[in-house]
Amino acid sequence: MATPKPKSKTTPSQKSNRVSGTGAAKKPKRFKSAYSKEEMVEIFRRFSIQRPEPKGELEHVNPFTLVVAVALSAQATDAGVNKATRALFKIADTPEKMLALGEEGVTQYIKTIGLYRNKAKNVIALCRMLIDEFGSEVPKTREELIRLPGVGRKTANVVMSMAFGIPTLAVDTHVFRIANRLLMAPGKTPDEVEENLLKVIPDQYLFHAHHWLILHGRYCCKARKPECERCVIADICRSPEKTMDVPAPLVELPQQLIGEAVE
């Protein structure tokens, strides 16, 4: 009589591999926006009426000072950065002038900003690279911009849009929150949200979309509590965090909603 072979035990990792299909080509993860194409057009149409020419709130005088300002704004408010850079940019509006200040000199101007020592170090290194590799000119491509010290994808996108008029979508904390809270283009990372937003934002509204979403998040759909009673898209919004239901505007937008909101 033949001895029966012992049953092989399946390890947890093997079970996991069976379920997940490890080894097989993974399909790209799909997301689903809570809004139809028509609804997205209407959302951004209303944003465009509320703020026809949205502007970034970081003060700058040229592409170089914009790069510096955006890099300094990481984990800081635009108002705080503006307060620190007004005096700085008056005397250092070129890479050469900024480099002449040195790390300690820059620090004296930006010490009210969070992580100022590391940021001052990056600003000086950024200036050296601009001078040595780019002829003191701010590059226009994302690939070149992200090589600069202290410049990530978000900063590069902001500079491309504001300095050179190239349609991009920079995902900061406000944009990330709005995309997820409104179920517009949910994602777990800024890059994922950027990719998903680019799929759903109507082409005709892409250039200003970044600023519309930021300003909407900063002044209306605030982090702690969204102010739905003041929201121009409240009747369309499908966020589970809505604080109240609001009927659609009768004619375009109420006059009190057009113009900048005051925090």
Mean pLDDT on 134-141: 97
Mean pLDDT on 207-234: 94
For 221, list phi and psi in degrees, rounded to 5: -85, 65
The mean predicted confidence, pLDDT, of the chain is 86
Question: What pLDDT, in 10s, does the model give residues 234-249?
Answer: 999 999 998 887 665 5
Residues taking part in catalysis: 154, 172
Q: What is the pLDDT of residue 56?
A: 86
Please, where in the chain does CATH 1.10.1670.10 lie? 37-54+169-252
Q: What is the pLDDT of residue 24?
A: 46
233 contacts: CB under 8 Å, gap ≥ 6: 42, 43, 46, 47
Q: What is the pLDDT of residue 244?
A: 82
Q: Is the dihedral of CA 198, 221, 234, 238 positive or negative?
A: positive
Q: What is the pLDDT of residue 32?
A: 85
Q: What pTM does this model have?
A: 0.76
From residue 85, alpha-carbon distances to 56, 65, 111, 123, 129 in Å are 15, 9, 11, 12, 21
Residue 47 · residue 216 · CB < 8 Å: yes
Q: Torsion-angle region of residue 115: left (phi > 0), alpha (psi -120 to 50) or beta?
A: left
Q: What is the pLDDT of residue 46?
A: 97
For 37, list phi and psi in degrees, rounded to 5: -60, -40
Q: Is 226 helix (H, G, I), strand (E, B) or coil?
A: strand
pLDDT at 262 over 60: no
Question: What pLDDT, in 10s, does the model give residues 140-193?
Answer: 999 999 999 999 999 999 999 999 999 999 999 999 999 999 999 999 999 999
pLDDT at 107 over 70: yes
Residue 214 CA to residue 216 CA, distance in Å, equals: 5
Q: What is the pLDDT of residue 16?
A: 39
Q: What is the pLDDT of residue 185?
A: 96
Residue 44 CA to residue 39 CA, distance in Å, equals: 9
Q: Give the architecture (CATH level 2) of 37-54+169-252.
A: Orthogonal Bundle (1.10)
Please, where in the chain does CATH 1.10.340.30 lie? 63-164
Question: pLDDT > 90: what percent of the chain?
Answer: 76
Length of the chain: 263
Question: What pLDDT, in 10s, does the model give residues 151-160?
Answer: 999 999 999 9
CATH number of 63-164: 1.10.340.30
Residue 129 · residue 147 · CB < 8 Å: yes
Residue with tokens 């008029």: 165
Confidence of residue 22 (pLDDT cuts 50, 70, 90): very low
Q: What is the pLDDT of residue 25?
A: 47
Cβ atoms within 10 A of the Cβ of 33, count?
A: 19
Question: What pLDDT, in 10s, does the model give residues 45-78?
Answer: 999 999 999 988 899 999 999 999 999 998 899 9
Q: What is the pLDDT of residue 248?
A: 54
Question: pLDDT > 70: what percent of the chain?
Answer: 82
More confident residue, 226 or 255: 226
pLDDT at 110 over 90: yes
Q: Is the dihedral of CA 126, 130, 132, 134 positive or negative?
A: positive
